[in-house]
Amino acid sequence: MNDLANKHIVLGLSGGIACYKAAELCRALVKAGASVQVVMSEAAAQFITPVTMQALSNRSVYTSQWDAREPNNMAHINLSREADAILVAPASADFMAKLLHGRADDLLSLMCLARPIAQVPLMLAPAMNREMWQHPATQRNMAQLKADGAFVLDVGQGEQACGETGDGRMLEPEEILADLISHFQPKLLAGQHVLVTAGPTFEKIDPVRGITNLSSGKMGFAIARAAAEAGAQVTLVAGPVSLPTPRGVQRVNVQSALQMQAAVLQHVDAASVFVATAAVADWRVAEVAEHKIKKDGSGDLPVLQFTENPDILAGVAQSERAQSGGLFCVGFAAESHDLLHHAKAKLARKGVPLLVGNIGPATFGQDDNALLLVDAHGSQELPHAHKLVLARQLVAEIARRIRR
């Protein structure tokens, strides 16, 4: 995934122990396709060497506004004009206070002040002790920086280098990377609330056994991420999977089909889009055994009675709000063969405006997929690609349809 291909990122480091994370962040930015120019404050060089950052970025590091490599001696102008974004990670309390007051006594602060505000976004990843973070002055500074147009990221919570525990840790590199990638995505679903179901369900037979399927949840999680990147508020109802929650997404964990139905009904009234990606079990055992069902040596098989699970998607799609157009519903069909035929039948059966089909055995657990979009007017193929790429394409299609 080259999410940052053709993007030039200026990575600024102010002083703080979190500079050690900047090395991995730089590496992640390069892997995502970006070109990275590192600019370090004098204090940052006390925590990590410019040599390290040069090796990871494949570019000479800038540390002084008097850098003789610039023919016009205006590194602060040249570097800011070349950037698609300036990302300061870590951003110390002192550095944010300096930016707030427009002070510019080193190259990093000069560059941030000199950037064309309308063309070059400034993202700050704060990092400091919990007391420094909670101090009213820091909170005022952060609020004013946001009002001035800077994008101030969240902070993490946990153990700090000083031995204390609390808010103020710099986000992990993968979290900062996700926020930067999200920034560049078009906000096609701004103002929308998207409800997504993902993963399998697990229907108990006894305390140790159950009925499930091979769905990994990766497609649904990719859709939740893509919707959040597109500016939507996203609620993700997830079956039993171990995938990390996408940035900015509210996650509700469930196990069974009945639990998933209850969670959907709890959150659907606030949603404007419902994407039912989950592979919900069609049946469950009518009576779950209290204890593990054991072999008795007779060779006789246990008799299990099954009952049908509720059709979550059809129930939501048949609601008054969905029928009146207040809720746009998208269904998924994971088939083993005759995809178009089965997808058309499911579209009619579920009563949804858009049905997304895929060949389940070819995609379960994989990072890539191929989708078939089916509606009342025909079908459209989304060719084989990474699931996040497909998710963004699907989100764009949903946004186009709800704007009609």
C-alpha pair distances (Å), 373 with each of 50, 165, 241, 347: 50, 48, 26, 10
Task: Determine the pLDDT at residue 296.
Answer: 84
Percent of the chain with pLDDT over 70: 100
C-alpha pair distances (Å), 383 with each of 17, 218, 275, 367: 45, 17, 20, 14
Neighbouring CB atoms inside 10 A of 138's CB total 18
Q: Where are the domains of the chain?
A: 8-184, 193-402
Task: Determine the pLDDT at residue 300.
Answer: 86
Q: Which residue has the higher pLDDT, 1 or 29?
A: 29
Domains 8-184 and 193-402 equal at CATH topology level? yes
Q: What mean pLDDT comes out for the span 4-9? A: 97
Class of domain 193-402: alpha beta
Work out the mean pLDDT of the chain and round it to a whole number: 95
Task: Determine the pLDDT at residue 161.
Answer: 87
Task: Determine the pLDDT at residue 105.
Answer: 92
User: Scanning the structure block, which residue is given the tokens 């058309």?
Assistant: 344
Q: What are 259-285's pLDDT values in tens digits?
A: 999 999 999 999 999 999 999 999 999
Q: Are 350 and 315 contacting, i.e. CB atoms less than 8 angstroms apart?
A: no
Q: What are 304-357's pLDDT values in tens digits?
A: 999 999 999 999 999 999 999 999 999 998 888 888 989 999 999 999 999 999
The CATH number of the domain covering residues in 8-184? 3.40.50.1950
Tell if the pTM clears 0.75, that is, is over it: yes
Task: Determine the pLDDT at residue 70.
Answer: 81
User: Could you give phi then psi for residue 330, rounded to 5 degrees?
Assistant: -125, 125
Q: What are 108-149's pLDDT values in tens digits?
A: 999 999 999 999 999 999 999 999 999 999 999 999 999 999
Q: Are 233 and 189 contacting, i.e. CB atoms less than 8 angstroms apart?
A: no
245 pLDDT band (50/70/90 cuts)? very high
Task: Determine the pLDDT at residue 361.
Answer: 79
Task: Determine the pLDDT at residue 29.
Answer: 98
Q: What are 325-339's pLDDT values in tens digits?
A: 999 999 998 888 888
Task: Determine the pLDDT at residue 254.
Answer: 98
Q: What are 187-241's pLDDT values in tens digits?
A: 999 999 999 999 999 999 999 999 999 999 999 999 999 999 999 999 999 999 9
92 has pLDDT over 80: yes
User: Scanning the structure block, which residue is given the tokens 């054991």?
Assistant: 294
257 has pLDDT over 90: yes
Task: Determine the pLDDT at residue 69.
Answer: 84
Indicate which residues carry an active-site annotation.
162
Q: What mean pLDDT comes out for the span 46-71? A: 93
What is the rounded distance in angstroms from the CA atom of residue 19 to the CA atom of residue 21? 5
404 has pLDDT over 80: no
**Strand runs labelled E in 135-218:** 151-152, 156-159, 165-169, 193-198, 203-206, 209-211
Q: Respond yes or no on whether the N-terminal peptide bond of residue 90 is cis (omega within 30° of 0).
A: yes
Task: Determine the pLDDT at residue 335.
Answer: 82
